[in-house]
Structure 1
């Protein structure tokens, strides 16, 4: 079983692009509620692909929280590790650029997912554990997720990390970068967008930084390049890249989360859910894994909101 740990929230997505200038429509676009959150999307995508998956989080008991729980259950995701609380659900207000890229503003004060507590144990059947996004920033839950990462990595669970940087939630960039580097010895696979890599590198060249991150612990670093595809750097100094699958982009919401899920799903097919197994993958295997992830992400980009594909669509 693959466990995904992190936040679940509601994306408020505009029903049309906003306009500007003298001819702008004075009416604001309607905001449509969509289930979301990077880890939540990753869990749903894994469920849709057919991987046995569980979600580890804290979800509100409000109406949005009930909808989030229903979405997990509809796609076969085990919710036994989900904690519940009466606090409201986190909201993320999305803005969609003409090219389909998304920006976010967050409403996070006093919300349920921030109060996540370290679970006493995870099932013995756990084969991989995935982390990322807001859950690693917002305290006090962030420290609980970090403790879970360190504890499970120490007992040999394969861990993956997608920081999925949301700069508006990070009050001290240098402190976060230092904390990120502290996670790396406990991470088996690191996945980043090129934008996130550049932000985390700070004044350093992102390519050089990625090599340093690789040396700190992960067996491989996967980098996403938007419509230009996906690449991987491996511990032995190798790597390869695949092109993106070309589609008409509606928006990019959930695309990176779909990549996370597709990587785990396809690595499982190669019996490579361990750092040692990932380190031994050859170029042909990596091209298969990355190509599968690129196709899955393209499907998500072809429709509004975070709607990852089902296995039959691939």
Structure 2
């Protein structure tokens, strides 16, 4: 089983007439939905509001095949994210996070037997006191031997002290088995210029890899996906052609689809990830890219179901 840990929230997404439509989301929540829809045993670890939005978030998890045994409910409101869309469909966010339920997540203690992988990321590793709780789970599960997967999914507007956050990120790497992040987030974490090219980013990724991760997957937007494999080989998979409606949830779908592919190919361990060869990485990234393309073809974070994709 895969446990996805982190926040669930509501995106307020602009519609053609200028209104804001609520869409269920949050980076970890989207990852759990994507993984569950692709037929992978998945459980969500979080604290979700008892308000109307919280009820809808829980129902969608169940409809996507995701277990909620590790979800606790609270009377505080659901976090809101107001989404702005650029002409190319890319998204920017502003957040309403004060006093919301997900920030008060409780450490569940050791995760259930049969938990092979645990995924972390986005706001849940920024906003206290929840960030410290998830951090403890990350350390404990890594020491237990689970495959730990991290997508920092940076939201700069919520990071008050970038230097302190970068230091904290560096401290996580020795406990991370698989690192997945966008090239933009990699530039920010490495304090590189916004126009730094892929070779510069890969140089930094190699330093990160020496610290801990067995492999590092970079999403390149319209340029596809790249992995720095366990042997240090760089493998690039081009994007799947698609008419983009928006990119909300695309990176999260890549994350969830990668987890689903690793599960289907009995590779949910750090050593298995380290041992994947070029052929298998090309298949894994191709599957993740195809899933993300389907998400980009429709409004909001709507990852595909397994019937829409063919596993290779």
1:20-59 equivalent positions in 2, closer than 5 A: 29-59=18-48
Pick aligned residue for 2:69 from 80, 83, 89: 80
TM-aligned CA deviation for residue 121 of structure 1: 2.4
Separation (CA, whole Å) in 2 of partners of 1:237 and 1:63: 47
| 8 Å Cα contact 1:263/1:290 also seen in 2 | yes
Separation (CA, whole Å) in 2 of partners of 1:235 and 1:177: 24
| 8 Å Cα contact 1:223/1:232 also seen in 2 | yes
Aligned length: 303
Q: Secondary structure at the match of 1:10?
A: strand
Q: Report what 1:12 is aligned to.
A: 12
| 8 Å Cα contact 2:230/2:275 also seen in 1 | no
Separation (CA, whole Å) in 2 of partners of 1:309 and 1:143: 32
| 8 Å Cα contact 1:227/1:246 also seen in 2 | no
Pick aligned residue for 1:216 from 208, 211, 219: 211
Q: Secondary structure at the match of 1:200?
A: helix
Pick aligned residue for 1:191 from 172, 180, 190: 180
Separation (CA, whole Å) in 2 of partners of 1:296 and 1:216: 30
Write the deviation string for residues 93-142 of structure 1: whole angstroms up to 9, x where unpaired: 00010000000000000000000111122110111100010000000000
For normalisation by structure 1, the TM-score amounts to 0.95
1:96-245 equivalent positions in 2, closer than 5 A: 96-203=85-192, 205-245=200-240
Write the deviation string for residues 215-238 of structure 1: whole angstroms up to 9, x where unpaired: 110000000001211010023221
Q: Report what 2:256 is aligned to.
A: 261
Write the deviation string for residues 239-260 of structure 1: whole angstroms up to 9, x where unpaired: 2110000100000000000000
Q: Secondary structure at the match of 2:82?
A: strand
Separation (CA, whole Å) in 2 of partners of 1:203 and 1:307: 32
Pick aligned residue for 1:280 from 264, 275, 281: 275
Q: Which moved more, 1:229-238 or 1:136-145?
A: 229-238
Separation (CA, whole Å) in 2 of partners of 1:258 and 1:179: 25
Unaligned runs of at least 5 residues, structure 1: 17-27
Q: Secondary structure at the match of 1:67?
A: helix
Q: Report what 2:196 is aligned to.
A: none
Q: Which moved more, 1:181-190 or 1:113-122?
A: 113-122
| 8 Å Cα contact 2:32/2:66 also seen in 1 | yes
Write the deviation string for residues 257-290 of structure 1: whole angstroms up to 9, x where unpaired: 0000011111112211111111111100000000
Q: Report what 1:252 is aligned to.
A: 247
Write the deviation string for residues 28-54 of structure 1: whole angstroms up to 9, x where unpaired: 710000100000000001111000100
Indicate whether 1:293 and 2:288 are aligned.
yes
| 8 Å Cα contact 2:229/2:276 also seen in 1 | no
Separation (CA, whole Å) in 1 of partners of 2:201 and 2:242: 28
Q: Secondary structure at the match of 1:198?
A: helix
Unaligned runs of at least 5 residues, structure 2: 194-199
Separation (CA, whole Å) in 1 of partners of 2:31 and 2:71: 15
Q: Secondary structure at the match of 2:120?
A: strand
Write the deviation string for residues 20-73 of structure 1: whole angstroms up to 9, x where unpaired: xxxxxxxx7100001000000000011110001000000000011001011101
